[in-house]
Amino acid sequence: METRGRMTIEARGDALVLAGAIDESAALHELIGRAAAGRLVLDLGGITFINSLGVRDWIRMQAAAQKASLSVELRRVAEPLVHQLNMIIATRGNARVTSFFAPYACDACGREESLLIDALASAAGLAKLEAPAMTCPECGAQMAFNDFPERYFSFLSS
């Protein structure tokens, strides 16, 4: 495991697993050299924070990947990154999001949780801005999507 400031990077299977904060010390452009077979796969489920300098670094990494003709796959995109993908179009680059976390709430028991959505399996519904149905892991009731679908899912329409 490698540590860069407040972020760790670990190779796991075909992906690089990033966790912690993406900030001025992340040096994300260096990840381009770790791509394999023309692909850079990033697991972002552990990202807890990204600041403006981290966003700048993220955009530069996306541009470098595009220049190197790499395909970028984003897996398990954490909510802080989803918000950036929605606010700043340049953060999307040419990356393909295969799964991401989204906020859900259970009216029955009050549980709130960020749940993983398979963007490929749910593509048809997401294109219509319909959040996938999710069951509460605590009480088994149907959970409600806890944001505005037209805002939260906008990063998927790039």
Structural domain spans, the chain = 2-97, 104-113+122-158
**6-38, pLDDT tens digit by residue?**
999 999 999 999 999 999 999 999 999 999 999
**40-84, pLDDT tens digit by residue?**
999 999 999 999 999 999 999 999 999 999 999 999 999 999 999
The pLDDT-based confidence of 150 (bands split at 50, 70, 90) is: very high
Q: Which amino acid is at 140?
A: G
Residue spans of beta strands (DSSP E) within 5-98: 7-12, 15-22, 39-50, 71-75, 96-97
Q: Which amino acid is at 59?
A: I
Which residues, at least 6 apart from 97, have a Cβ–Cβ distance to it below 8 Å? 74, 77, 85, 119, 155, 156
- The alpha carbon of residue 130 and the mean position of all alpha carbons in its chain are separated, in whole angstroms, by 18
Instruction: Give me the pLDDT at residue 158, please.
Output: 60
110-115 long-range contacts (CB < 8 A, ≥24 apart) are: 111/136, 111/137, 111/138, 111/139, 111/143, 112/146, 113/137, 113/143, 114/78, 114/79, 115/143
Question: How many residues appear in the chain?
Answer: 158
Query: Rounded to an integer, what distance in angstroms lies between the CA atom of residue 144 and that of residue 149?
Result: 11
Tokens of 33: 């050299």
Strands 99-105, 112-118: pairing kind: antiparallel
Instruction: Give me the pLDDT at residue 139, please.
Output: 97
Q: What is the pTM of this model?
A: 0.93
**112-137, pLDDT tens digit by residue?**
999 999 999 999 999 999 999 999 99
- Residue 95 to residues 72, 119, 144: CA-CA distances in angstroms? 5, 13, 28
Q: What angle do CA 39, 44, 45 make, to 5 degrees?
A: 140
pLDDT over 90 percentage in the chain: 96
The pLDDT-based confidence of 157 (bands split at 50, 70, 90) is: confident
CATH architecture of 2-97: 2-Layer Sandwich (3.30)
Instruction: Give me the pLDDT at residue 81, please.
Output: 97
